[in-house]
Structure 1
Protein backbone atom coordinates (compact mmCIF):
# COMPACT_ATOMS: atom_id res chain seq x y z
CA UNK A 1 0.00 0.00 0.00
CA UNK A 2 1.50 3.37 -0.95
CA UNK A 3 1.88 5.91 1.81
CA UNK A 4 -0.57 8.75 2.10
CA UNK A 5 0.72 12.26 1.62
CA UNK A 6 0.33 14.99 4.19
CA UNK A 7 -2.38 16.52 1.98
CA UNK A 8 -4.37 13.27 2.02
CA UNK A 9 -3.87 12.95 5.78
CA UNK A 10 -5.11 16.53 6.23
CA UNK A 11 -8.24 15.65 4.26
CA UNK A 12 -8.89 12.63 6.46
CA UNK A 13 -8.44 14.68 9.63
CA UNK A 14 -10.85 17.32 8.29
CA UNK A 15 -13.35 14.59 7.41
CA UNK A 16 -13.02 12.98 10.82
CA UNK A 17 -13.51 16.23 12.75
CA UNK A 18 -15.86 17.90 10.27
CA UNK A 19 -13.91 21.16 10.06
CA UNK A 20 -11.15 22.75 7.96
CA UNK A 21 -7.59 22.06 9.10
CA UNK A 22 -6.96 25.74 9.90
CA UNK A 23 -9.92 25.80 12.30
CA UNK A 24 -8.79 22.54 13.88
CA UNK A 25 -5.26 23.91 14.35
CA UNK A 26 -6.65 27.03 16.01
CA UNK A 27 -8.75 24.87 18.32
CA UNK A 28 -5.74 22.68 19.14
CA UNK A 29 -3.71 25.72 20.16
CA UNK A 30 -6.30 26.43 22.84
CA UNK A 31 -6.50 22.74 23.81
CA UNK A 32 -2.94 21.39 23.37
CA UNK A 33 -3.65 17.87 24.60
CA UNK A 34 -5.85 15.14 23.24
CA UNK A 35 -6.22 13.15 20.07
CA UNK A 36 -6.71 16.14 17.77
CA UNK A 37 -3.47 17.75 18.94
CA UNK A 38 -1.63 14.45 18.47
CA UNK A 39 -3.01 14.01 14.95
CA UNK A 40 -2.13 17.56 13.97
CA UNK A 41 1.38 17.15 15.36
CA UNK A 42 1.84 13.95 13.34
CA UNK A 43 0.52 15.73 10.25
CA UNK A 44 3.03 18.55 10.71
CA UNK A 45 5.88 16.04 11.16
CA UNK A 46 4.80 14.24 7.99
CA UNK A 47 4.62 17.50 6.03
CA UNK A 48 8.10 18.47 7.26
CA UNK A 49 9.50 15.08 6.21
CA UNK A 50 7.99 15.55 2.75
CA UNK A 51 9.58 19.01 2.47
CA UNK A 52 12.89 17.54 3.57
CA UNK A 53 12.65 14.80 0.91
CA UNK A 54 11.99 17.38 -1.81
CA UNK A 55 14.87 19.58 -0.63
CA UNK A 56 17.44 16.77 -0.43
CA UNK A 57 16.30 15.20 -3.70
CA UNK A 58 16.77 18.55 -5.47
CA UNK A 59 20.15 19.08 -3.80
CA UNK A 60 21.32 15.58 -4.75
CA UNK A 61 20.17 16.17 -8.33
CA UNK A 62 22.29 19.34 -8.47
CA UNK A 63 25.29 17.59 -6.90
CA UNK A 64 25.33 14.73 -9.43
CA UNK A 65 24.43 16.77 -12.50
CA UNK A 66 26.16 15.19 -15.55
CA UNK A 67 28.05 18.41 -16.38
CA UNK A 68 29.39 18.79 -12.85
CA UNK A 69 32.78 17.44 -11.86
CA UNK A 70 32.73 15.17 -8.83
CA UNK A 71 35.93 15.21 -6.84
CA UNK A 72 36.91 14.05 -3.38
CA UNK A 73 35.32 17.08 -1.75
CA UNK A 74 32.03 16.69 -3.64
CA UNK A 75 31.74 12.97 -2.84
CA UNK A 76 31.34 13.71 0.87
CA UNK A 77 28.48 16.10 0.03
CA UNK A 78 26.82 13.50 -2.22
CA UNK A 79 27.08 10.84 0.49
CA UNK A 80 25.79 13.21 3.18
CA UNK A 81 22.87 14.33 1.03
CA UNK A 82 22.00 10.71 0.17
CA UNK A 83 22.04 9.82 3.87
CA UNK A 84 19.79 12.76 4.75
CA UNK A 85 17.42 11.84 1.94
CA UNK A 86 17.21 8.26 3.19
CA UNK A 87 16.50 9.51 6.73
CA UNK A 88 13.74 11.82 5.51
CA UNK A 89 12.12 8.97 3.56
CA UNK A 90 12.25 6.71 6.62
CA UNK A 91 10.71 9.41 8.82
CA UNK A 92 7.99 10.08 6.26
CA UNK A 93 7.13 6.39 5.97
CA UNK A 94 6.94 5.91 9.74
CA UNK A 95 4.88 9.07 10.26
CA UNK A 96 2.47 8.16 7.46
CA UNK A 97 2.06 4.58 8.68
CA UNK A 98 1.43 5.69 12.26
CA UNK A 99 -1.07 8.45 11.49
CA UNK A 100 -2.98 6.22 9.03
CA UNK A 101 -3.24 3.50 11.69
CA UNK A 102 -4.56 6.01 14.21
CA UNK A 103 -7.04 7.49 11.74
CA UNK A 104 -8.30 4.03 10.81
CA UNK A 105 -8.90 3.25 14.48
CA UNK A 106 -11.07 6.34 14.90
CA UNK A 107 -14.54 6.91 13.61
CA UNK A 108 -16.33 10.13 13.09
CA UNK A 109 -18.62 10.85 15.96
CA UNK A 110 -22.15 11.49 14.78
CA UNK A 111 -23.46 14.89 15.62
CA UNK A 112 -25.58 14.62 18.73
CA UNK A 113 -29.27 15.11 18.21
CA UNK A 114 -30.29 18.66 19.04
CA UNK A 115 -31.41 18.92 22.59
CA UNK A 116 -34.83 20.39 22.83
CA UNK A 117 -35.61 22.04 26.05
CA UNK A 118 -39.24 21.59 26.88
CA UNK A 119 -40.69 23.77 29.50
CA UNK A 120 -43.37 21.93 31.45
CA UNK A 121 -46.80 23.40 31.11
CA UNK A 122 -47.66 25.51 34.11
CA UNK A 123 -49.83 23.79 36.67
CA UNK A 124 -53.41 25.01 36.73
CA UNK A 125 -53.87 27.69 39.35
CA UNK A 126 -55.02 26.46 42.71
CA UNK A 127 -58.67 27.27 43.39
CA UNK A 128 -58.99 30.53 45.20
CA UNK A 129 -59.75 30.08 48.83
CA UNK A 130 -63.24 31.23 49.52
CA UNK A 131 -63.78 33.76 52.17
CA UNK A 132 -65.17 32.24 55.38
CA UNK A 133 -68.87 32.65 55.67
CA UNK A 134 -70.32 34.51 58.56
Structure 2
Protein backbone atom coordinates (compact mmCIF):
# COMPACT_ATOMS: atom_id res chain seq x y z
CA UNK A 1 0.00 0.00 0.00
CA UNK A 2 1.35 3.44 -0.85
CA UNK A 3 2.07 5.77 2.03
CA UNK A 4 1.27 9.29 0.81
CA UNK A 5 3.02 11.35 3.49
CA UNK A 6 6.33 9.47 3.36
CA UNK A 7 6.22 9.31 -0.44
CA UNK A 8 5.77 13.08 -0.59
CA UNK A 9 8.69 13.61 1.78
CA UNK A 10 10.89 11.23 -0.21
CA UNK A 11 10.09 13.07 -3.44
CA UNK A 12 10.92 16.44 -1.89
CA UNK A 13 14.21 15.18 -0.42
CA UNK A 14 15.19 13.59 -3.74
CA UNK A 15 14.31 16.80 -5.60
CA UNK A 16 16.33 18.92 -3.18
CA UNK A 17 19.46 16.79 -3.36
CA UNK A 18 19.01 15.61 -6.96
CA UNK A 19 19.63 11.92 -6.19
CA UNK A 20 17.40 8.88 -5.62
CA UNK A 21 16.74 7.97 -1.99
CA UNK A 22 18.93 4.84 -2.03
CA UNK A 23 21.91 6.89 -3.20
CA UNK A 24 21.21 9.57 -0.58
CA UNK A 25 21.06 6.94 2.17
CA UNK A 26 24.34 5.43 1.01
CA UNK A 27 25.95 8.87 0.88
CA UNK A 28 24.66 9.81 4.34
CA UNK A 29 26.07 6.56 5.76
CA UNK A 30 29.60 7.55 4.68
CA UNK A 31 30.04 10.16 7.40
CA UNK A 32 30.06 10.05 11.17
CA UNK A 33 29.11 13.73 11.49
CA UNK A 34 25.48 14.75 11.81
CA UNK A 35 24.27 16.31 8.56
CA UNK A 36 21.06 17.89 7.34
CA UNK A 37 20.65 15.03 4.89
CA UNK A 38 20.94 12.45 7.67
CA UNK A 39 18.39 14.33 9.77
CA UNK A 40 15.93 14.53 6.86
CA UNK A 41 16.36 10.84 6.06
CA UNK A 42 15.83 9.96 9.72
CA UNK A 43 12.61 12.00 9.83
CA UNK A 44 11.51 10.34 6.59
CA UNK A 45 12.18 6.87 8.05
CA UNK A 46 10.17 7.72 11.15
CA UNK A 47 7.24 8.90 9.03
CA UNK A 48 7.43 5.78 6.87
CA UNK A 49 7.52 3.50 9.92
CA UNK A 50 4.56 5.33 11.48
CA UNK A 51 2.55 4.91 8.27
CA UNK A 52 3.32 1.19 8.19
CA UNK A 53 2.25 0.91 11.82
CA UNK A 54 -0.99 2.78 11.10
CA UNK A 55 -1.76 0.33 8.29
CA UNK A 56 -0.89 -2.72 10.40
CA UNK A 57 -3.01 -1.57 13.36
CA UNK A 58 -5.87 -0.64 11.02
CA UNK A 59 -5.86 -4.15 9.55
CA UNK A 60 -5.79 -5.67 13.04
CA UNK A 61 -8.67 -3.45 14.12
CA UNK A 62 -10.71 -4.58 11.10
CA UNK A 63 -10.00 -8.22 11.95
CA UNK A 64 -11.11 -7.72 15.55
CA UNK A 65 -14.29 -5.94 14.51
CA UNK A 66 -15.15 -8.20 11.55
CA UNK A 67 -18.85 -9.06 11.23
CA UNK A 68 -19.66 -12.50 12.58
CA UNK A 69 -16.55 -12.67 14.75
CA UNK A 70 -17.09 -13.86 18.29
CA UNK A 71 -16.44 -11.15 20.85
CA UNK A 72 -14.59 -12.52 23.83
CA UNK A 73 -13.68 -10.92 27.14
CA UNK A 74 -10.36 -9.62 25.81
CA UNK A 75 -11.72 -8.22 22.53
CA UNK A 76 -12.66 -4.76 23.87
CA UNK A 77 -9.16 -4.38 25.32
CA UNK A 78 -7.60 -5.34 21.98
CA UNK A 79 -9.87 -2.90 20.13
CA UNK A 80 -8.90 -0.12 22.51
CA UNK A 81 -5.20 -0.98 22.22
CA UNK A 82 -5.30 -0.92 18.40
CA UNK A 83 -7.14 2.41 18.45
CA UNK A 84 -4.59 3.89 20.87
CA UNK A 85 -1.67 2.66 18.77
CA UNK A 86 -3.20 4.16 15.63
CA UNK A 87 -3.64 7.50 17.39
CA UNK A 88 -0.02 7.46 18.61
CA UNK A 89 1.32 6.58 15.16
CA UNK A 90 -0.72 9.37 13.56
CA UNK A 91 0.68 11.90 16.03
CA UNK A 92 4.24 10.70 15.40
CA UNK A 93 3.76 10.75 11.63
CA UNK A 94 2.19 14.19 11.58
CA UNK A 95 4.75 15.74 13.93
CA UNK A 96 7.76 14.33 12.10
CA UNK A 97 6.28 15.25 8.72
CA UNK A 98 5.56 18.79 9.89
CA UNK A 99 9.13 19.31 11.10
CA UNK A 100 10.70 17.74 8.02
CA UNK A 101 8.47 19.85 5.77
CA UNK A 102 9.46 23.03 7.60
CA UNK A 103 13.14 22.17 7.13
CA UNK A 104 12.63 21.31 3.47
CA UNK A 105 10.84 24.62 2.88
CA UNK A 106 13.80 26.49 4.35
CA UNK A 107 16.28 24.76 2.04
CA UNK A 108 16.72 25.25 -1.68
CA UNK A 109 19.03 24.08 -4.43
CA UNK A 110 21.64 26.53 -5.62
CA UNK A 111 22.39 26.62 -9.32
CA UNK A 112 25.67 24.96 -10.24
CA UNK A 113 28.21 27.52 -11.42
CA UNK A 114 30.16 26.86 -14.60
CA UNK A 115 33.40 28.20 -13.13
CA UNK A 116 34.69 28.52 -9.58
CA UNK A 117 34.05 31.90 -7.96
CA UNK A 118 36.80 34.38 -8.57
CA UNK A 119 38.97 34.99 -5.56
CA UNK A 120 39.64 38.62 -4.71
CA UNK A 121 42.97 39.82 -6.02
CA UNK A 122 45.47 40.83 -3.37
CA UNK A 123 46.07 44.54 -2.85
CA UNK A 124 49.53 45.54 -4.11
CA UNK A 125 51.98 46.56 -1.33
CA UNK A 126 52.25 50.13 -2.66
CA UNK A 127 48.47 50.61 -2.42
CA UNK A 128 48.49 49.37 1.19
CA UNK A 129 51.23 51.82 2.09
CA UNK A 130 49.27 54.70 0.55
CA UNK A 131 46.15 53.82 2.59
CA UNK A 132 48.13 53.59 5.81
CA UNK A 133 49.17 57.27 5.69
What TM-score does the superposition give when structure 2 sets the normalisation length?
Answer: 0.80
* Structure 2 unmatched runs, 5+: 117-133
**Offset, 1:102:** 0.7
Find the counterpart in structure 1 of residue 50 from structure 2: 49
Find the counterpart in structure 2 of residue 14 from structure 1: 14
Runs (4 or more) in structure 1 with deviation over 6 Å come to none
Does residue 84 of structure 1 match 2:65?
no
**Offset, 1:69:** 1.8
What TM-score does the superposition give when structure 1 sets the normalisation length?
Answer: 0.79
**Offset, 1:96:** 1.0
Q: Give 3-state SS (helix, strand or coil) of 2:68's partner.
A: coil
* Structure 1 unmatched runs, 5+: 116-134
The CA deviation string for residues 36-64 of structure 1, in whole angstroms up to 9 with x for no partner, is: 00000000000000000000000000001
Matching of residues 57-68 of structure 1 within 5 Å: 57-68=58-69
More helix by share: 2
Greater Cα offset, 33-42 or 63-72: 63-72
Tell me the distance in 2 between the aligned counterparts of 1:5 and 1:96: 7
Count, aligned residues: 113
